[in-house]
Structure 1
Amino acid sequence: MAVHTKLDDAQALVYGTTLAAFGITILTHLGLVTGQTAGLAVLISYATGWGFAPVFFTINLPFYWLGYRRMGLAFTVKTFLSVAAMSALVQVMPAWIDFAHLDPAFGAVLFGMVSGSALLALFRHGASLGGIGILALYLQEKTGFRAGWTQLVFDAALFAVALALRDWQTVAWSFLGALVVNLVIAINHRRDRYIAT
Structure 2
Amino acid sequence: MTEIMGRKVQHRSESKLKLLRRLFFLTFGAILMAVGLEIFLIPNKVIDGGITGISIMLSHITGWSLGVFLFILNLPFFFMGYKQIGKTFAFSTLYGIVVLSVATVFLHPVPSLTNDVLLATVFGGITIGVGVGIVIRTGGSLDGTEILAILVNQKIPFSVGETIMFLNLFILGAAGFVFGWDRAMYSLIAYFIAYKTIDVVIQGLDESKSVWIISENYQEIGDAILARLGRGVTYLNGEGAYTGDDKRVIFCVITRLEEAKLKSIIEDHDPSAFLAVAGINEVRGGRFKKKDIH
Q: How does the TM-score come out when normalised to structure 1?
A: 0.90
C-alpha contact 1:27 1:33 (8 A) present in aligned 2: yes
Specify the code of the residue in structure 2 equivalent to 1:121: I
Specify the code of the residue in structure 2 equivalent to 1:81: Y
Alignment deviations for residues 152-179 of structure 1 (CA, whole Å, 9 cap, x no partner): 1111111221111122221221111111
Unaligned runs of 5+ in 1: none
Q: 2:185 aligns with which of 142, 166, 172?
A: 172
Specify the code of the residue in structure 1 equivalent to 2:102: A
Unaligned runs of 5+ in 2: 1-14, 204-280, 284-289
Q: How does 1:25-36 map to 2 (within 5 A)?
A: 25=38, 26-36=40-50
1:103 and 2:193 matched: no
Q: How does 1:107-126 map to 2 (within 5 A)?
A: 107-126=120-139
Specify the code of the residue in structure 2 equivalent to 1:90: T
Task: Considering fraction of residues, name the structure with more helix.
Answer: 1
- Cα RMSD over matched residues? 2.0
Specify the code of the residue in structure 1 equivalent to 2:67: A
1:90 and 2:110 matched: no
Q: 2:72 aligns with which of 43, 52, 58?
A: 58
Cα distance in 1 between the residues matched to 2:146 and 2:115: 30
Deviation at 1:102, TM superposition (A): 2.7
C-alpha contact 2:50 2:143 (8 A) present in aligned 1: no
Greater relative CO, 1 or 2 (CA 8 Å, sep 6+): 1
Cα distance in 2 between the residues matched to 1:92 and 1:76: 25
Tell me the residue number matched to 1:183.
Answer: 196
Specify the code of the residue in structure 2 equivalent to 1:173: Y
Tell me the residue number matched to 2:84.
Answer: 70
Deviation at 1:115, TM superposition (A): 0.5
Tell me the residue number matched to 1:139.
Answer: 152
Q: How does the TM-score come out when normalised to structure 2?
A: 0.62
Specify the code of the residue in structure 2 equivalent to 1:61: L
Q: 1:192 aligns with which of 282, 288, 293?
A: 282
Specify the code of the residue in structure 2 equivalent to 1:30: N
Task: Considering fraction of residues, name the structure with more strand.
Answer: 2
Number of aligned residue pairs: give it.
194
Cα distance in 1 between the residues matched to 2:108 and 2:60: 16
1:153 and 2:166 matched: yes
